[in-house]
Structure 1
Amino acid sequence: MSTLSVPPVPISPRDDAIQLYRAFKGLGCDTAAVVNILAHRDAAQRAILQQEYRTMYSDDLLKRLSSELSGNVKKAVLLWMYDPAGRDATILRQALSGDIIDLQAATEVVCSRTPSQIQQLKQVYHAKFGVYLEHDIEYQASGDHKKEIYHLELIFLYITTFEVVTTGIRAMVTYKELEERLIAVDGSIKHLATLIVALTVKVDTMMSSSEPKGDDHQGEASHANLRSNSNHGVHPKPVGVDLPRFYGEDPTGWILLAEQFKNYHHLDDEQMIEIAVIHLQKDAVLWNQWLLLACVTKPRYEGLEVDRMMVEKDAKALYKAGEKKLGTDEKTFINIFSERSRAHLSAVTSVYHSMYGNSLKKAIKSETSGNFEFALLTILRCAENPGKYFAKELHKAMKGLGTNDTTLIRIIVTRVEIDMQYIKAEYQKKHRKSLVDAVHSETSSHYRTFLLSLLGPKH
């Protein structure tokens, strides 16, 4: 439900154009007049006004607003002037091609929109920017990932691997022993990174207890080769190998590679954890990219009907792909979350809790991380209650020291003509404070006036 307030008697586009032209004339800009007009016009009225202004003054209203306004009020007004699909396209383009890639903004837009909104958005995106949204997500998101870890790739270029793990060594660390240790980890990046360091102790034990005995000349040669390579810096031909990733199989080889990685670069435990964190974050970026691509390419049903058998099947599949196994089968999460309707996912959440005694949200938090976690939670929360989701994001944008004005502007401007009344109600219910009061305390001047005009009265 919209909170936009428009004049009861429509103002002619010609009169609006004249008033805006006068506000731009002379030294400075009458920002108050601009805000008073534009904050009380709906999408159709804004579109006609832009056409009228161009006809009357041979000038682009958006360009004029950009040159006359400044700061946050400029950002808010310019974003407001687009229709919903054009606005989303603009947000995504800026998020995917700016100097700083804003994957969270891109994720929020893609994962919170309905299938029909995404289809319209894709058409506008291509018409407006001459490229397909899917291509920008794939190219720009992966480009951001590459920029973030470029310095690490230079290091990893010369990492080597040793083919010295004998059958005796593999037998010493059973899957059962490590399974118990891995299950104890809650899935967070920090814990997973710390795990890599902690398990290297097991490797030392394995190495010391696997000394060749008797006539085991082959084992002796392999062991001597390993010791020589480790202690004297003699390595086989360099190959490009990343920090090893664990997929839930027999972890013996994974532990050995992690130990080799650590020793090769003379890393202490803290350095090892930092590098492991970066690699796990890198994985989260890539899974998030694939989820966004799936969301904008796969068709989804928008109706309210659900297949109860399919709901139960999906709940079981998600449990098997996450909490039940070591590691996470991200592809299962991507397929279900990108292909199922909101009503279906909402039903899956309920069934998952009744079947396994844990919420699906908590499972996602423990099994995933970074932008991938944010994307899955965004899809799930918008399936259950979009008003509650956006109320929470607005609170986060204003919580603590400073305000995330980019997020504040994006959510208010994009939701005013859709469901802002519900968002305000959810905000009031959760925080015992009106959204209007919260925004008033975090903003000032014409910027405050504009946002409050869009939000309408407190209740």
Structure 2
Amino acid sequence: MATLTVPQSVPSAAEDCEQLRKAFAGWGTNEALIISILAHRNAAQRKLIQETYNQSYGEDLLKALEKELSSDFERAVLLWTLVPAERDAFLANEATKMLTASNWVIMEIGCTRSSHDLFLVRQAYHARYKRSLEEDVAYHTSGDFRKLLVPLVSAFRYEGPEVNMILARTEAKILHQKISEKAYSDEELIRIVTTRSKPQLNATLNHYNNEFGNAINKDLKANPEDEFLKLLRAAIKCLTCPEKYFEKVLRLAINKMGTDEWALTRVVTTRAEVDMQRIKEGYHRRNSVPLDRAISGDTSGDYEKMLLALIGHGNA
């Protein structure tokens, strides 16, 4: 359900590199040429372009882009050009460095990537930062946040479709009991959320809803101001219907007084090859405005053109 538009016949990586080199040459950078190439290549093609550029010109393509571009457009192009696992490693590392660790970004990566993808993120993190993702997350978080986030990024969930209905019933009861006791960070509750496969978790939550008459996230709203509960609800949403979660992140990023470009760039670059089509449909339904129009109304210039190209908008 991606929306990335890749042309029928893609030039060779060497030709793409030659064109990018041209875009950097001369007096001004040719941003339109950069967008026309990079925004229309999939992850494997972008990786090959990076490797070929390095071999042909002895320079790292990302460093070349950094030199030529600036501000939000630069961030969008750089994040997009990175291999997905390296992009996630970069975003997670950046999140652990913020003064208030950006728990949401870490949670997002832990909950919405497949087991294999998350494994690749941990490998990329090792290679790039010479530390483990788990140790950085543990060091930069504390209390209940640490209890939830470390197992989320360490998980290697079962990815198959099998579901155990007896287990779903038992664990729905455990969840209900813990929530009734307001034991929101109880290790049993955390264990279920952070280790069960997504189909198993869905079965458990459906059972919870049928048995106790409320969706679990409704029961977790006991204290709407509680930051941990907000994160726990978001984690459950990410695990069960990520496109709804990302629609909300986009809605909040665009409808703020002043756009939250970091959130906008992150969602577009990380979901363009995954489920952007579903996110767009959800956005249109929820806001009665197509996402491309909302982005156009809130951004401008090359940054706007890059985002529109990535969400698969016409001829951007």
Indicate whether the TM-score tops 0.5: yes
Question: Which residue of the partner structure matches residue 230 of structure 1?
Answer: none
Question: Which residue of the partner structure matches residue 5 of structure 2?
Answer: 5
The question of 1:337 aligning with 2:160 is answered no
Q: CA deviation at 1:377?
A: 2.0
Contact 1:125–1:131 (Cα < 8 Å) also in 2: yes
Equivalent position SS for 1:6: coil
- The 1-side partners of 2:13 and 2:284 are apart by 36
Question: Which residue of the partner structure matches residue 401 of structure 1?
Answer: 257
Structure 1 stretch 292-301 or stretch 445-454: which is displaced more? 292-301
The question of 1:391 aligning with 2:260 is answered no
Equivalent position SS for 1:304: coil
Distance 1:5 1:380, change over 3 A: same
Question: Which residue of the partner structure matches residue 288 of structure 1?
Answer: 145
From 279, 299, 304, the equivalent of 1:443 is: 299
Distance 1:429 1:326, change over 3 A: closer
Contact 1:315–1:348 (Cα < 8 Å) also in 2: yes
Question: Which residue of the partner structure matches residue 303 of structure 1?
Answer: 160
Q: CA deviation at 1:56?
A: 1.8
- The 1-side partners of 2:9 and 2:56 are apart by 23
Q: CA deviation at 1:48?
A: 1.2
Q: CA deviation at 1:369?
A: 5.9
Q: CA deviation at 1:395?
A: 0.8
One-letter identity of the residue aligned with 2:193: F
Q: CA deviation at 1:413?
A: 0.4
Contact 1:6–1:41 (Cα < 8 Å) also in 2: yes
- The 1-side partners of 2:303 and 2:236 are apart by 32
Structure 1 stretch 310-319 or stretch 296-305: which is displaced more? 296-305
Q: Residue by residue, what CA displacement relative to the aligned partner does 1:48-99 show, whole Å, maximum 9, x if unpaired?
A: 1112211222111100101110010000000001111111111001111245
Q: Residue by residue, what CA displacement relative to the aligned partner does 1:95-150 show, whole Å, maximum 9, x if unpaired?
A: 112456322222222222222221121111111211111100011224xxxxxxxx
Q: CA deviation at 1:318?
A: 1.1
For normalisation by structure 2, the TM-score amounts to 0.93
Question: Which residue of the partner structure matches residue 212 of structure 2?
Answer: 356
Question: Which residue of the partner structure matches residue 266 of structure 2?
Answer: 410
Equivalent position SS for 1:55: helix
One-letter identity of the residue aligned with 1:399: N
Question: Which residue of the partner structure matches residue 60 of structure 1?
Answer: 60
Contact 1:111–1:378 (Cα < 8 Å) also in 2: no
Contact 2:108–2:238 (Cα < 8 Å) also in 1: no
Alignment map for 1:415-434 (pairs within 5 Å): 415-434=271-290
Contact 2:234–2:245 (Cα < 8 Å) also in 1: yes
Question: Which residue of the partner structure matches residue 249 of structure 1?
Answer: none
Equivalent position SS for 1:365: coil
From 175, 181, 195, the equivalent of 1:318 is: 175
Distance 1:13 1:6, change over 3 A: same
Count of residue pairs brought into register by the alignment: 314
Equivalent position SS for 1:106: helix
- The 2-side partners of 1:349 and 1:15 are apart by 51
- The 1-side partners of 2:173 and 2:164 are apart by 14
- The 2-side partners of 1:370 and 1:85 are apart by 31
Distance 1:128 1:329, change over 3 A: closer
Q: CA deviation at 1:326?
A: 5.4
Contact 1:427–1:435 (Cα < 8 Å) also in 2: yes
From 234, 238, 242, the equivalent of 1:378 is: 234
Q: Residue by residue, what CA displacement relative to the aligned partner does 1:302-327 show, whole Å, maximum 9, x if unpaired?
A: 2222111111111111111112x255
- The 1-side partners of 2:87 and 2:237 are apart by 22
RMSD: 1.9
Distance 1:67 1:99, change over 3 A: farther
Distance 1:408 1:91, change over 3 A: same
One-letter identity of the residue aligned with 1:37: I
Unpaired runs of 5+ residues, structure 2, are none
Structure 1 stretch 130-139 or stretch 449-458: which is displaced more? 449-458
Q: Residue by residue, what CA displacement relative to the aligned partner does 1:142-200 show, whole Å, maximum 9, x if unpaired?
A: 4xxxxxxxxxxxxxxxxxxxxxxxxxxxxxxxxxxxxxxxxxxxxxxxxxxxxxxxxxx
- The 1-side partners of 2:182 and 2:157 are apart by 30
Question: Which residue of the partner structure matches residue 43 of structure 2?
Answer: 43
- The 2-side partners of 1:140 and 1:356 are apart by 36
